[in-house]
Chains A and B, each alone.
Chain A
Amino acid sequence: MVQFNLEQRELTIKIVYYGPALSGKTTNLQAVHHLLVPDIRGRLMVLNTSDDRTLFFDLMPVFFKTETGFKVKVKLFTAPGQVMHNSTRRIILQGADGVVFVADSQRNQIAANNDSWRGMANNLKLNGMDIKQLPVVIQFNKRDLPDVRSDAEIDEVAQRGNEPVFKAVAINGQGVLETLEGILRLTWQTLNNNYQLGQKLRLGEDVFIDNLLKKNTIPLPPLTGSGGLLS
């Protein structure tokens, strides 16, 4: 849940990347880390096991100061994908203001995507949150792999649901910032509707987005993700 402190003039928003194991959540964060200019983001904290799987979570803050001196911070978290870490996933989801659901585009991962979504809905419920009230975008990652659901198929399923859908190849940064922008806009709109943040901070949606997505010009190095796809 957004932390809004008028006294200290701070706003902290929490975005969680959720999805099945090895769908590319850590890779998304690694790409965001490389694609944004260093002075608006903190270090990328990756807590991996010895075999490069996410143990607890990954965390990267993105922040800026508004013209009126308000500190705006967005904390990007990834939840661990492996089945056994369910209680950690629930803790990570606590107080989330928006969720990026990173689905694996491969046909053989459809069931894993669905299981993960159901698990997320259940975890949100156990946290006293309602998935229908929470801003969620869906990213179909790994578009570069063979035997993935076709673009037409994804466009069709995107039409059917309420959640904005993005296509990505996180490992080369493709679609990653678009997805982040999607969730940031949706989250801002929801928070603005609920708490009139724009009025309180004297901040518009576009300025909010532009400040958080200042792009780096350095080319993206090869990424490996927590699942070590290239390792």
Chain B
Amino acid sequence: MNRAESTGAPDTSALQRRFQLAELLDLQSVGEVCSSYAELFGIGFKVIDHAGQVLIDVKGSGGEFCAYLFTFARGKAECTKVVSAVRGLQVEQPPARVHECFSGLRYLVEPIRHEGDALGRLVLGPYRPAERDDMTLPGLGEKFHPEVARRLWNQVRRVADDVARKVSHHLVQTLEVMLYIGYKHALTANVHVEAVTASYNELQRKNQALQESFERLKELDRLKSNFLATVSHELRTPLTSVIGYSEMLLEGLAGQLNSEQTDYVNTIMEKGEQLLNIISSILDFSKMDMGTVRINRQTCDLHEVVRSAVSTLRPIARKQQVELELQAATDLPPAWLDGDKIRQVLVNIIGNAVKFNKAGGSVKVTVDMFSRPHQGNPEEGLPAALAPLTEELFRVVVSDSGVGIPADQQERIFDSFYQVDGSSTREYGGTGLGLAIAKGLVEAHGGRIEVDSEPNRGSSFTVLLPHLEQS
């Protein structure tokens, strides 16, 4: 809309826009409707927009007569004058206005309106008025033959004015319905696009805010890991001295201790080592969290790694009266992995199985090879079709007869600092880092840990490690 005086807000929506006739009408369909009317009544029709642009021009029975007149200079000039006057005729309100041709033919011009505004007009004609018997032509030159002109004049459809008005009005009504449908279609399509765009922009803004807060959280997480690593390191250094000096006291380097003193120093040493283990776990975890843990793969015997982990825990199991059993397949191939890290994983898992057990309970550790259909690509960028059908895995299963883990907690036990019983009065100690570290180390090997458990019946942890060839 060309606003001479605007009161502010921009016309951002199609709802505020003023459409032109050609934007709202499907001109091909309008052409077909006008042709159909022209065929039915033998009269020509023009659809003209508000600016005088002819959008549709369908010839009727007056074509030959007009063409004949057009061959004479004066006829051409008069015709042009009439056509331009008809095209420029602004009709804002019904009824249709009559425009006479110099030849005695007649035109009707009726507005095509939408919401009370004339967006254009329909021109009907030329037609021969019913009350006129002869043409009203002036002389058009020497070569002009009135009898030829009269013969062609008689071919022009003769129509009574009231019939012409009815025909014009019916066609205008049809066009106004088509205009309304076009307007409805234009608004629907535009508002749909506007609504989708608005929703998209809103989502973009929200995504941006989420992304920013995610970045902030990642930075905070990095600072936390950094802090943990620094604190652990600073705690470990003086603790090493506490343990070292306790050892020296026990060895009698500062003189012989009596039995009570030996007991006290033993306790200091034991608690010191316990504290050192906790701090080491935190340090391991923060390294893993920062992505600085290094996997040092070497050819090793997995059976030996498992056996070593089991024998580390055997004294504790014995103390807790938990039976600890190891079953290993005899035909295990050599493994290509970091034996120390996997041993740490198994000490964590088997340690948990013993810790969360009751006197008289049992823990069973089995080691074997396991093959299953290949899941996913073995290597990034390699087409799945090229991957082997099955993958070979080392499988270590640790099953216990302990307290078990409720189903809704089974995912969360791998979260750092998480304990199923998180209360301050909980029965079992520990930092809640063991399984988080175990998971991180196994995943760093390209493997995974699965858990299957039922409360009060026991748990079974399965460590799956890919069988890789030394590369």
B424 at interface, CB cutoff 8 A: no
Comparing A3-11, A112-120, A136-144, A145-153, the segment that makes contact with chain B is: A3-11
What chain A residues lie within 8 Å of B7 (beta carbons)? 1-4, 194-195
A45 at interface, CB cutoff 8 A: yes
A87 at interface, CB cutoff 8 A: yes
B138 at interface, CB cutoff 8 A: no
Give, as a whole number of angstroms, the nearest-CB distance from A64 to chain B.
8
Counted as pairs of residues, one from A and one from B, with CB atoms less than 8 Å apart, the total is 89
With A88-B195, A95-B13 as contacts: A1 and B8 at CB distance below 8 Å: yes
CB pair A56–B188 under 8 Å, yes or no, is yes
**Which chain B residue lies CB-closest to A128?**
B9
Interface string of A1-26 (1 = CB under 8 A from B): 11111111000001000000000000
CB pair B9–A1 under 8 Å, yes or no, is yes
CB pair A87–B115 under 8 Å, yes or no, is no
What chain B residues lie within 8 Å of A83 (beta carbons)? none
CB pair A45–B13 under 8 Å, yes or no, is no
With A8-B4, A43-B180, A87-B199 as contacts: A95 and B188 at CB distance below 8 Å: no
With A56-B192, A87-B198, A87-B202 as contacts: A95 and B9 at CB distance below 8 Å: yes
CB pair B188–A6 under 8 Å, yes or no, is no
CB pair B16–A45 under 8 Å, yes or no, is no
A125 at interface, CB cutoff 8 A: no
**Once the chains are docked, how many angstroms separate the CA of A87 from the CA of B117?**
30
CB pair B117–A88 under 8 Å, yes or no, is no
CB pair A92–B116 under 8 Å, yes or no, is no
CB pair A5–B4 under 8 Å, yes or no, is yes
Size of the chain B interface, CB-CB below 8 angstroms: 31
Interface string of A186-228 (1 = CB under 8 A from B): 0000000011000000000000000000000000000000000
Give, as a whole number of angstroms, the nearest-CB distance from A57 to chain B.
7
Find residues 391-413 in chain B having any chain A CB closer than 8 Å to their own CB: none
CB pair A63–B115 under 8 Å, yes or no, is yes
What chain A residues lie within 8 Å of B117 (beta carbons)? 71, 73
A107 at interface, CB cutoff 8 A: no
What chain B residues lie within 8 Å of A92 (beta carbons)? 15
Give, as a whole number of angstroms, the nearest-CB distance from B182 to chain A.
12
**Once the chains are docked, how many angstroms separate the CA of A195 from the CA of B184?**
31
Give, as a whole number of angstroms, the nearest-CB distance from A184 to chain B.
17
What chain B residues lie within 8 Å of A47 (beta carbons)? 184, 187-188
Give, as a whole number of angstroms, the nearest-CB distance from A9 to chain B.
9
**Which chain A residue lies CB-closest to B202?**
A87
Find residues 70-90 in chain A having any chain B CB closer than 8 Å to their own CB: 71, 73, 75, 77, 85, 87-88, 90
A59 at interface, CB cutoff 8 A: yes
CB pair A3–B3 under 8 Å, yes or no, is yes
**Once the chains are docked, how many angstroms separate the CA of A87 from the CA of B13?**
12
Give, as a whole number of angstroms, the nearest-CB distance from A101 to chain B.
19
CB pair B115–A61 under 8 Å, yes or no, is yes
**Once the chains are docked, how many angstroms separate the CA of A62 from the CA of B179?**
17
Size of the chain A interface, CB-CB below 8 angstroms: 34
What chain A residues lie within 8 Å of B114 (beta carbons)? 42
A122 at interface, CB cutoff 8 A: no
Give, as a whole number of angstroms, the nearest-CB distance from A75 to chain B.
8
What chain A residues lie within 8 Å of B12 (beta carbons)? 94
**Once the chains are docked, how many angstroms separate the CA of A75 from the CA of B198?**
23
CB pair B116–A90 under 8 Å, yes or no, is no
Interface string of B171-191 (1 = CB under 8 A from A): 000000000100110011001
CB pair A94–B4 under 8 Å, yes or no, is no
Give, as a whole number of angstroms, the nearest-CB distance from A24 to chain B.
22
What chain B residues lie within 8 Å of A1 (beta carbons)? 7-9
What chain B residues lie within 8 Å of A73 (beta carbons)? 115-117
CB pair B187–A94 under 8 Å, yes or no, is no
CB pair B15–A94 under 8 Å, yes or no, is yes
With A73-B115, A91-B13 as contacts: A59 and B187 at CB distance below 8 Å: yes
CB pair A6–B15 under 8 Å, yes or no, is no
Give, as a whole number of angstroms, the nearest-CB distance from B466 to chain A.
47
CB pair A5–B116 under 8 Å, yes or no, is no
What chain B residues lie within 8 Å of A6 (beta carbons)? 4-5
CB pair A4–B6 under 8 Å, yes or no, is yes
**Once the chains are docked, how many angstroms separate the CA of A99 from the CA of B1?**
23
With A87-B198, A87-B202, A88-B195 as contacts: A5 and B16 at CB distance below 8 Å: no
**Which chain A residue lies CB-closest to B201?**
A87
**Once the chains are docked, how many angstroms separate the CA of A57 from the CA of B195?**
12
What chain B residues lie within 8 Å of A91 (beta carbons)? 13, 15, 191, 194-195, 198
B191 touches which of A42, A56, A128, A195 (Cβ 8 Å): A56
Show 22 residue pairs from A and B whose CB-CB distance is below 8 angstroms, ordered by the A residue: A1-B7, A3-B7, A4-B6, A5-B5, A6-B5, A8-B2, A14-B15, A42-B116, A45-B183, A45-B184, A59-B15, A71-B116, A71-B117, A75-B15, A87-B198, A91-B198, A94-B13, A94-B15, A95-B9, A95-B11, A128-B9, A195-B7
Top-3 shortest CB links A-B = A7-B4, A1-B9, A87-B198
